């Protein structure tokens, strides 16, 4: 051996190595202890990350050792933010592979297939490497390479003009998966622009809304690992939030005997692991939840003490039963009648599931006590009109059991998430963006992003400069061809900028395509609720960190990234400087160094300040290893701040936090003291009292406790917000019949489930991962054999035509009993395309080349050429063996916004039949004129703030807004007309 053998300090390893050495020597062989010197099943111990040794697989049988620097970063292929370890080859200076980071408290070294596939994205031969500007008309596919300086100067000039001319609302940054906590919002706030837009209303806002109205916090954080019963309305073991970190904890619980109940119309991988799989009629999930809740109520198997202490039943009685005594017994009596109609038989009639099965499930739930964990995310909450009541009724079960912030229960996510304070905090913008937060949707959980083409077609405004980031609106949203019409209209969108690592159906229509880094090529911080604790993760450019570990000085991430690939954070800082070069607009100061005033803030200083000043415990932990806080995060990638956060709502508020207190008759406590207590992140901003004091807690049991960030401070069984903003009939957890309820379907129509993920792809993020593409590249229509026989669809692989309200698509059938009769399903991942004439402008082996044109009925799209092998820098592109890339079904869906949550209701009422003569796989036909009509019909369901606002504001201030404008901006333009009371 030319190298010294370092014996690791791992339990038992020395014994094993000694035994192996003795055995080899007894056989007369030369002992080789193994390249890594640790047991193969072990993760690389962090002490060895500077020089990790493995054998070259290509050199075998020669034992050629390869030396690696292991650098942590964070996966960006879904929002779980699992830790990755990049293996940076000491010889080549390149990343050889990605594996799990064992030091990450959320993912604990584990990843799904998409984590290691990051290497495909980094080495993708089709990725965008240089800034590009269009060289013909929009969408013509002609591009010229430009410098970053040219792009920055052009964009800065436009944005500066918009700001100085009072056109702030013409600047918008539209995010898909953010992958970070607050950087973009902070940039926009520094510009004084209310320009944050998100994809959330086509994703999770339905699920969030139900939790928000209960807790004042919009996401659940289930403690699956310690649960006795796990109740999922989501394919959570394979694809839901937060898939891998939650799945491994659900698996642990199952191993200890926990029961898993899954409501999923489709036999998902998650359903296959359930003890109880319920395949309900789509949209009936809330009826099942209410039948379970009713069982708990009728059998008095609910947690009376918890309900008495933490529900706002007094407020409910006072508002809805004014003649009755405000006593818990009164409430119990009323509660017993409220849900009495939701019998097992009623739920069975709505869902199609046997009443005895629902009764058995209810019995299992009742036995869970406070160890009942639950989750509902996209799934039913994202599919149905009123889908937000699915999560509201699900949390009703948790709240009845008292399984809230208990071991094995469900926490408000903000208690298990940590967002550090940044170095600069700009003020709230003083403007309101009506295109994202229109008057018709005052209670929308998030921006009404998917209606943008219709709002601009209505003449509600225009955009001067429109950025997209990790977002592909033409492909991801419903009604994508209306998006294409918008993005090719320079009157409506003056300049369209795609910040993207790879080509997409939207980037084709951009004016600028600017290359951004993948997971291992950029900085972000993030923190997600994955167990009862708080952690913060650090995504970083791994080659930058590796070279800095060797003593090099890197000042710009472009110095280590391929081509001229950059990262958003350095880009935003530079762009902000160019918008305000002399500081006269007051923007530049939020992007200046504190250490070297008058110079640009660097990402090292930005994150160094954050880790040193606002992550409790990290400076001490780093110092113990002789590292700076930033150095510690660069080395290990994640830090656990707390574990066992517990029942924060029960905590007593110390007197020191109760300066100048005021207590309402209902027990809400206000103070003028600054916020204290645990570092938690409420998603809204509870309304101050008339004196400007902030809510600090609520009196429960004669003690001021922290409570919940709702208006009452309690769990809101009855929502004064829903009641006060025009929706009193939905103020309680309830059941809203879906737009695809059987009673609303026309004869012959089926329900199309279009939202489900595959475990091996994520939206448009993973299409340039060749390993994932090989695993999953098509999306057949699931159809029950009984339906297939009735519809004359004879076998799997037959072409079917699926007709929606605005068009149709043609796909292959998959006959399976994994879907209930009357329902068909199609995964939304596939059907990627590029326009013919765009040459190699593509995203790997997943894009068909299509012709897109007009016909009498609207747009028609047909694949001219499916994917095929091709020559590139990667020899694997010549080995592509598949040609079917599926169908882009979302193009054929009209917008269907829920009038309360604002969530797009994805399920479609469709007709399905055999393909017609001349139909081809992947065909799309869409009438965008009809799409306008459907938009208008759903708009009529709304109750605009101008009519219902009780206080002259556009939106309750306590509800979430990711980028919150100033209080004055919340006022309706002519606020006097409806104002019942004025803002403080
Ligand atoms: S679950 Fe998979 S895709 Fe998501 S962050 Fe973890 S490894 Fe990446």
- The domain that holds 320 is classified in CATH as 3.40.228.10
Atom of ligand 1 nearest to the CA of 77: 3
Is the domain of 685 the same as that of 795?
no
Q: What is the best residue among 72, 73, 76, 78 to mutate for testing ligand 1's pocket, by most ligand atoms within 8 Å of CB? A: 78
Q: Which of 412-421, 672-681, 845-854 has the highest mean pLDDT?
A: 412-421
Do 750 and 717 fall within a single domain? no
- The verdict on 754 and 712 lying in the same domain is no
Task: Return the pLDDT at 783.
Answer: 98
Token readout for 913 is: 């039949």
> What phi, psi does 5 have (nearest 5°)?
-90, 120
- Mean pLDDT for all residues in the chain: 93
Note the helical H segments in 313-387: 313-320, 328-338, 344-351, 355-366, 379-383
Q: CATH no. for residue 803? A: 2.40.40.20
286 contacts 736 by C-beta, under 8 angstroms: yes
Residue 600 has pLDDT above 80, yes or no: yes
Q: How far is the CA of 77 from the centre of ligand 1 (A)?
A: 6
Do strands 668-671 and 694-700 pair parallel, antiparallel, or not at all (unpaired)? antiparallel
pLDDT at site 378 = 86
814 and 720: one domain? no
Residues 426, 191: Cα–Cα separation, whole Å: 9
CA 586 to chain centre: 33
State in Å: Cα 244 to ligand 1 middle: 6
Ligand 1 atom with least separation from CA of 100: 7
Taking 80 as the threshold, does the pLDDT of residue 360 lie above it? yes
pLDDT one-digit tens code per residue, 19-44: 777 887 888 877 776 676 666 667 89
* Spacing, Cα 760 to ligand 1 middle (Å): 10
> Residue 83 Cα, ligand 1 centroid: separation in angstroms?
8
Indicate which residue's Cα is closest to atom 1 of ligand 1: 244
Residue 767: the pLDDT is 75
Distance 628 CA to ligand 1 centre (A): 28
Using 50, 70 and 90 to split pLDDT, how confident is the model at 255? very high
Q: Mark which of 680, 696, 726 sits at the end of a domain.
A: 726
Q: Which residue, by CA, sits nearest to atom 6 of ligand 1?
A: 82
84 C-alpha to ligand 1 centroid (Å)? 9
Q: Are residues 778 and 883 in the same domain?
A: yes
Give yes or no: residues 719 and 822 share one domain. no
Which atom from ligand 1 is nearest to the alpha carbon of 115? 7
- Residue 597 within any structural domain of the chain: no
Mean pLDDT of 706-729: 97
Ligand 1 center to 100 CA (angstroms): 10
255 within a domain of the structure (yes/no):
yes
Q: Lowest mean pLDDT: which of 35-39, 121-125, 534-538?
A: 35-39
Q: State how far the Cα of 199 lies from the Cα of 447, in Å rounded to an integer.
A: 8
Q: Does one domain contain both 283 and 228? A: yes
- Please give the pLDDT value at position 763: 79
In a domain, 662, yes or no: yes
Question: Does residue 981 have a pLDDT over 80?
Answer: no
What's the gap in Å between 537 CA and the centre of ligand 1?
A: 13
Position 984 scores a pLDDT of 28
* Rounded-to-integer distance, Cα 224 and Cα 207, Å: 18
Ligand 1 centroid to 766 CA: how many Å? 11
Q: In this predicted model, what pLDDT tens digit does every residue of 804-824 receive, in sequence order?
A: 999 999 999 999 999 999 999
Domain boundary among 380, 400, 416: 416
Could you give the CA distance from residue 530 to residue 411 in angstroms, rounded to a whole number?
A: 10
Most ligand 1 atoms within 8 A of CB, residue of 101, 102, 111 to mutate: 111
The residue among 176, 14, 47, 40 whose CA lies nearest residue 99 is 40
Structure token pair of residue 751:
């329900």
- If one residue of 73, 82, 767 were mutated to test the ligand 1 pocket, choosing by the most ligand atoms within 8 A of its CB, it would be 82
Ligand 1 atom showing the smallest separation from residue 766 Cα: 3
908 and 767 housed in the same domain: yes
Cα of 185 vs centre of ligand 1, distance in Å, is 24
| Whole-number Å distance between alpha carbons of 212 and 708 | 11
- Would you state the pLDDT for residue 764? 78
Task: Compute the distance between CA of residue 526 and CA of residue 370 in angstroms, rounded to an integer.
Answer: 29
Do residues 967 and 957 lie in contact, with contact meaning Cβ atoms separated by under 8 Å? yes
In a domain, 619, yes or no: no
Tell whether the model's pLDDT for residue 720 goes beyond 80.
Answer: yes
Atom of ligand 1 nearest to the CA of 107: 6
Kindly list the protein residues whose Cβ atom lies closer than 6 A to any atom of ligand 1. 75, 77-78, 80-82, 107, 111-112, 114-115, 243-244
- 946 and 977 Cβ atoms separated by less than 8 Å: yes
pLDDT at 129 over 60: yes
Please say if the pLDDT value at position 778 is more than 80: yes
Residue 10 has pLDDT above 50, yes or no: no
Residue 268 has pLDDT above 80, yes or no: yes
The string of pLDDT tens digits covering residues 201-222 is: 999 999 999 999 999 999 999 9
Higher pLDDT, 198 or 846: 198
Of 670, 699, 726, at which residue does a domain stop?
A: 726
Which residue puts its alpha carbon closest to atom 2 of ligand 1?
112
* Two tokens, residue 189: 């706030």
The verdict on residue 511 lying in a domain is: no
The answer to the question of residue 133 being in a domain is: no
User: What is the count of structural domains for the chain?
Assistant: 3
Read off the pLDDT band of 741 (50, 70, 90).
Answer: very high
Q: What is the 3-state secondary structure (H, E, C) of 214-260?
A: HHCCCCEEECHHHCCEEEEECCCCCCCCCHHHHHHHHHHHHHCCCEE
Q: With CA atoms as reference, report the closest residue to 671 among 694, 649, 653.
A: 694
Among 76, 80, 121, which is best to mutate for testing ligand 1, by the most ligand atoms less than 8 A from CB?
80
Chain segment 292-327, per-residue pLDDT in tens: 999 999 999 999 999 999 999 999 999 999 999 999
- Say whether both 705 and 810 belong to one domain: no
pLDDT at residue 814, as a whole number? 98
Instruction: Please tell me the distance between residue 567's alpha carbon and the centre of ligand 1 in angstroms.
Output: 20
Q: Is the peptide bond before 201 cis (omega within 30 degrees of 0)?
A: no
- 683: which DSSP letter? S
- Per-residue pLDDT at 39: 61
Residue 895, both tokens: 């917008």
pLDDT value, residue 678? 65
Q: What is the mean pLDDT of residues 227-254?
A: 91
Ligand 1 atom closest to the CA of 78, numbered from 1:
4
Cα 929 to Cα 764: distance, rounded to the nearest angstrom: 27
Range(s) of the domain holding residue 666: 658-726
| Residue 860, domain member (yes or no) | yes
Kindly state whether residues 852 and 919 are assigned to the same domain. Answer: yes
More confident residue, 982 or 64: 64
**β-strands 847-855, 858-865: how paired?**
antiparallel
> How far are the Cα atoms of 298, 301, 386, 768 from residue 339, in angstroms, in the given order?
9, 15, 18, 50
CB neighbour list of residue 192: distance below 8 Å, 6 or more residues apart: 163, 168, 429, 430, 431, 587
Q: Do residue 710 and residue 832 come from a single domain?
A: no
Work out which ligand 1 atom sits closest to the CA atom of 84.
Answer: 7
Tokens of 68: 């690696």
Q: Atom 4 of ligand 1 has which residue's CA nearest to it?
A: 78
In this structure, the answer to whether residues 837 and 717 fall within a common structural domain is no
Please state the pTM of the whole predicted model.
Answer: 0.94
Q: Is residue 544 part of a domain?
A: no
């Amino acid at each position: 051996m030319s190298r010294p053998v370092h014996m690791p300090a791992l339990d038992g390893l020395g014994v094993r190595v000694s035994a192996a050495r003795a055995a080899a020597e007894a056989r007369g062989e030369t002992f080789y202890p193994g390249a890594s010197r640790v047991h193969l099943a072990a993760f690389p111990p962090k002490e060895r990350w500077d020089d990790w040794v493995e054998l070259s697989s290509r050199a075998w049988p020669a034992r050629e050792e390869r030396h690696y620097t292991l650098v942590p970063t964070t996966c960006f292929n879904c929002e779980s933010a699992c830790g990755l370890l990049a293996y940076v080859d000491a010889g080549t200076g390149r990343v050889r592979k990605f594996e799990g980071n064992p030091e990450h408290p959320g993912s604990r070294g584990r990843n799904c297939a998409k984590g290691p596939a990051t290497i495909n994205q980094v080495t993708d031969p089709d990725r965008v490497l240089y800034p590009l500007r269009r060289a013909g008309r929009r969408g013509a596919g002609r591009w010229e390479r430009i410098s970053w300086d040219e792009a920055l100067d052009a964009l800065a000039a436009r944005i500066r003009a918009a700001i100085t001319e009072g056109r702030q609302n013409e600047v918008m940054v539209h995010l898909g998966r953010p992958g970070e906590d607050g950087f973009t919002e902070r940039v926009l706030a520094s510009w004084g622009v209310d320009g944050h837009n998100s994809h959330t209303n086509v994703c999770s806002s339905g699920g969030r809304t139900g939790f928000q109205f209960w807790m004042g916090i919009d996401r659940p954080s289930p403690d699956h690992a310690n649960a006795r019963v796990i109740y999922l309305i989501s394919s959570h073991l394979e694809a839901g939030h937060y898939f891998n970190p939650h799945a491994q904890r659900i698996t642990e619980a199952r191993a200890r005997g926990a029961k898993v109940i899954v409501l999923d119309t489709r036999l998902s991988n998650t359903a296959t692991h359930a003890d109880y799989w319920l395949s309900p009629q789509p949209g009936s999930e809330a009826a099942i939840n209410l039948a379970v809740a009713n069982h708990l109520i009728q059998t008095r198997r609910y947690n009376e003490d918890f309900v008495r202490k933490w529900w706002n039943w007094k407020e409910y009685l006072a508002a809805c039963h004014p003649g009755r005594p405000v006593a818990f017994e009164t409430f119990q009596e009323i509660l017993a009648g409220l849900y009495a109609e939701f019998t097992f038989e009623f739920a069975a009639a709505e869902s199609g599931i046997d009443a005895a099965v629902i009764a058995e499930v209810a019995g299992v739930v009742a036995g869970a006590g406070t160890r009942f964990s639950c989750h509902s995310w996209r799934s039913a909450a994202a599919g149905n009109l009123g889908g937000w009541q699915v999560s509201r009724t699900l949390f009703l079960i948790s709240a009845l059991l008292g399984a809230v912030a208990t071991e094995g229960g469900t926490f408000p996510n903000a208690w298990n998430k940590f967002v550090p304070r940044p170095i600069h905090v700009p003020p709230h913008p003083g403007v309101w963006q009506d295109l994202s937060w229109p008057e018709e949707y005052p209670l929308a959980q998030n921006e009404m992003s998917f209606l943008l083409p219709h709002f601009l077609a209505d003449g509600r405004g225009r955009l001067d400069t429109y950025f997209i980031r990790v977002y592909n609106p033409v492909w991801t949203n419903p009604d994508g061809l209306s998006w294409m019409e918008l993005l090719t209209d320079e009157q409506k969108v003056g300049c369209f900028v795609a910040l993207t690592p790879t080509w997409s159906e939207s980037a084709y229509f951009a004016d600028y395509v600017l290359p951004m880094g993948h997971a291992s090529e950029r900085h972000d911080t993030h923190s997600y609720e994955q167990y009862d604790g708080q952690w913060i993760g650090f995504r970083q450019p791994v080659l930058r960190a590796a070279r800095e570990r060797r003593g090099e000085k890197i000042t710009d991430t472009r110095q280590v990234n391929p081509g001229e690939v950059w990262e958003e954070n350095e880009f935003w800082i530079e762009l902000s400087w160019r918008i305000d070069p002399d500081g006269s607009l007051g923007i530049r100061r939020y992007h200046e160094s504190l250490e070297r005033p008058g110079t640009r803030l660097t990402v090292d200083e930005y994150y160094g300040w954050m880790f040193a000043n606002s992550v409790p415990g990290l400076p001490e932990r780093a110092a113990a290893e002789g590292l700076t806080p930033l150095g510690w995060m660069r080395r290990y990638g994640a830090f656990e701040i707390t574990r066992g956060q517990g029942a924060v709502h029960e905590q007593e508020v110390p007197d020191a936090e109760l300066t100048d207190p005021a207590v309402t008759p209902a027990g809400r406590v206000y103070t003028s003291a600054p916020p204290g207590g645990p570092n938690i992140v409420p998603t809204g901003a509870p309304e101050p009292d008339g004196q400007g004091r902030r809510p600090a807690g609520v009196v429960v049991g004669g003690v001021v406790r922290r409570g919940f960030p709702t208006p009452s401070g309690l769990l809101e069984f009855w929502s004064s917000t829903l009641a006060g903003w025009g929706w009193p009939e939905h103020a309680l957890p309830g059941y809203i019949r879906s737009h695809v309820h059987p009673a609303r379907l026309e004869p012959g129509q089926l329900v199309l489930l279009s939202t489900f993920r595959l475990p091996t792809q994520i939206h448009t993020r993973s299409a340039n991962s060749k390993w994932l593409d090989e695993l999953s590249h098509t999306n057949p229509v699931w159809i029950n054999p009984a339906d297939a026989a009735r519809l004359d669809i004879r076998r799997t692989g037959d072409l079917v035509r699926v007709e929606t309200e605005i068009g149709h698509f043609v796909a292959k059938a998959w006959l399976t009993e994994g879907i209930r009769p009357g329902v068909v399903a199609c995964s939304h991942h596939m059907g990627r395309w590029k326009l013919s004439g765009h040459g190699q402008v593509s995203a790997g082996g997943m894009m068909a080349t299509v012709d897109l044109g007009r016909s009498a009925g609207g747009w028609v799209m047909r694949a001219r050429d499916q994917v095929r092998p091709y020559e590139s820098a990667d020899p694997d592109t010549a080995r592509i063996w598949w040609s079917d890339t599926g169908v882009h079904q979302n193009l054929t869906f009209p917008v269907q916004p829920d009038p309360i949550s604002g969530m797009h209701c994805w399920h479609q009422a469709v007709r399905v039949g055999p393909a017609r003569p001349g139909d081809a796989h992947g065909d799309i036909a869409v009438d965008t004129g009809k799409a306008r009509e459907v938009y208008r019909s759903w708009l009529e369901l709304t109750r605009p703030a101008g009519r219902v606002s009780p206080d002259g504001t556009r939106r309750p201030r306590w509800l979430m807004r990711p980028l919150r404008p100033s209080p004055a901006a919340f006022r309706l333009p002519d606020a006097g007309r409806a104002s019942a009371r004025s803002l403080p």
